[in-house]
């Protein structure tokens, strides 16, 4: 290997290391985890400065809020530039140009851009600044064993058909109740129920048990309809709640079942990583630390894989492992 090849190799290693640091870290990589917490702190400071700058009582500190905003935006710009630079590491199957375009038009890339642009061009669009909250959610992609965000995502994906059906029922009931209430109440109070949209506003506030009280029926038939709709609203809103609650119970039951299978191993054994298992997407270091096991080998298809600490477990992998408690006791 000549000097140029060595330089390119060293450059590639440095680039890969920077990519690992700015991406979602794992528990075994202190710099990456520290960078995650640093970014969270910067985001919170930025949002807090934006929030406090709306108070007239704190006008004497506007200069401080502006300084915090400028410094944090500078950090966001540096991070955004580094993510563009290391996009070819994130998408190794794409070329240098295509990988960067993939990042720029990805969800994370668009959110990062929209949180920076208002500072330079859209200062009045504070709503874009609130997208910085979404950046925090990106840090919870780490597939920890009881990662709440991962569980929520899994539940919503698995129960999407039931949730869509329940939302459809809510929409149908909302439209029916709004049109019915409009037809009954419009002759009695044309200003309050001036059109069908007024009925929709009333039905939404009633079905969701908010009840602002700005629009309400005054006729006998309208009040009877309102009573029936209010009771139906309580039941309808409970439908998606029950579906999501049942999904949470199922997910935690699956996770507990996976953990029980590992703790039952007293000698060398094997475990199949089933689709949807909490083991999938976890690194070897995370599994060995949290479950007190030693992974001896990974069977991926027909190929054996050496279980390095940074390797992520995939679905349908077969883990050859041994209890760490037995290893410590000398068995």
Give me the sheet containing 318-323, strands edge to edge.
269-272, 318-323, 293-300, 303-305
107 and 172 inside one domain: no
Q: What is the DSSP string of 257-307?
A: HHHHHHHT--SSEEEE--TT-TTTT-BHHHHHHHHTEEEEEEEETTEEE--
Could you tell me if 179 and 229 are in contact, meaning their C-beta atoms sit under 8 angstroms apart?
no
Give the model's pLDDT for residue 219.
87
Q: Does 18 fall in a domain?
A: yes
20 and 115 inside one domain: yes
Among the candidates 208, 227, 250, a domain finishes at: 250
The domain in which residue 123 lies consists of 3-141
Give the model's pLDDT for residue 64.
92
CATH number at residue 279: 3.30.70.1450
Give the model's pLDDT for residue 152.
73
31 and 61 inside one domain: yes
- For residues 151 and 25, give the distance between their C-alpha atoms in angstroms, rounded to a whole number: 19
Give the model's pLDDT for residue 26.
56
List, in order, residues 6 or more apart from 88 with CB less than 8 Å away: 94, 95, 96, 99, 100
Give the model's pLDDT for residue 317.
84
Identify the CA nearest to 202 among candidates 178, 179, 232.
178
- For residues 254 and 28, give the distance between their C-alpha atoms in angstroms, rounded to a whole number: 25
Among the candidates 217, 250, 283, a domain finishes at: 250
Give the model's pLDDT for residue 142.
44
CATH number at residue 67: 1.20.120.350
136 and 49 inside one domain: yes
CB-based burial label for 196 (10 Å; 0-12, 13-18, 19+): middle
- For residues 57 and 178, give the distance between their C-alpha atoms in angstroms, rounded to a whole number: 44
Give the model's pLDDT for residue 326.
43
83 and 120 inside one domain: yes
Could you tell me if 326 and 266 are in contact, meaning their C-beta atoms sit under 8 angstroms apart?
yes
- For residues 85 and 21, give the distance between their C-alpha atoms in angstroms, rounded to a whole number: 13
Give the model's pLDDT for residue 309.
75
Q: DSSP letter at 311?
A: P
Q: E strand or H helix at 304, and its extent?
A: strand 303-305
Among the candidates 109, 141, 173, a domain finishes at: 141
Longest distance between any two alpha carbons in the chain, whole Å: 92
- For residues 48 and 263, give the distance between their C-alpha atoms in angstroms, rounded to a whole number: 45
Q: Does 255 fall in a domain?
A: no
pLDDT in tens, the chain (331 residues): 454 667 777 888 888 888 888 876 555 678 888 888 888 888 888 878 878 887 888 889 889 988 998 898 899 899 889 999 988 888 888 888 898 898 888 877 887 887 777 777 655 555 665 666 666 655 554 444 345 556 777 777 888 888 888 888 888 887 888 888 888 888 888 887 877 777 777 777 766 656 566 677 888 888 888 888 878 777 777 788 888 888 777 776 766 655 555 555 556 667 788 776 777 778 888 887 777 778 878 888 767 777 877 788 888 888 888 765 544 444 4
Give the model's pLDDT for residue 109.
83
pTM value is 0.52
| Residue 93, phi then psi, degrees to nearest 5 | -80, -10
Give the model's pLDDT for residue 81.
92
75 and 23 inside one domain: yes
90 and 124 inside one domain: yes
């Amino acid at each position: 290997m000549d000097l140029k090849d060595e330089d390119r190799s060293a450059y590639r290693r440095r680039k890969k290391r920077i990519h690992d640091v700015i991406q979602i870290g794992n528990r075994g990589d202190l710099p990456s985890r520290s960078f995650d917490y640093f970014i969270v702190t910067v985001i919170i400071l930025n949002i807090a400065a934006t929030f406090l700058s709306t108070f007239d009582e704190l006008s004497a500190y506007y200069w401080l809020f502006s300084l915090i905003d400028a410094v944090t935006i500078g950090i966001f710009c540096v991070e955004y530039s580094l993510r563009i630079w290391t996009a070819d590491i994130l998408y190794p199957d794409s070329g240098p140009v295509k990988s960067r375009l993939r990042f720029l038009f990805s969800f994370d890339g668009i959110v990062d851009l929209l949180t920076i642009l208002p500072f330079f061009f859209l200062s009045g669009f504070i709503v874009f600044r609130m997208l910085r909250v979404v950046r925090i959610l990106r840090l919870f992609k780490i597939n920890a064993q009881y990662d709440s965000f991962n569980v929520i995502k899994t539940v919503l994906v698995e129960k999407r058909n039931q949730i869509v059906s329940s939302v459809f029922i809510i929409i149908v009931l909302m439209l029916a109740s709004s049109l019915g209430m409009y037809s009954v109440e419009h002759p009695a109070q044309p200003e309050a129920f001036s059109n069908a949209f007024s009925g929709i506003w009333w039905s939404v506030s009633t079905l969701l048990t908010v009840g602002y009280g700005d629009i309400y029926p005054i006729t006998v038939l309208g009040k009877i309809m309102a009573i029936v709709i209010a009771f139906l609203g309580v039941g309808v809103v409970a439908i998606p709640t029950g579906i999501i609650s049942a999904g949470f119970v199922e997910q935690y039951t699956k996770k507990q079942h996976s953990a029980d299978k590992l703790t039952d191993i007293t000698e060398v054994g094997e475990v199949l990583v089933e689709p949807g298992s909490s083991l999938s997407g976890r690194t070897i270091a995370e599994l060995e630390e949290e479950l007190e096991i030693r992974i001896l080998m990974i069977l991926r298809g027909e190929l054996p894989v050496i279980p390095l600490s940074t390797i992520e477990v995939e679905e349908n992998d077969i883990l050859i492992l041994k209890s760490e408690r037995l290893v410590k006791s000398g068995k």
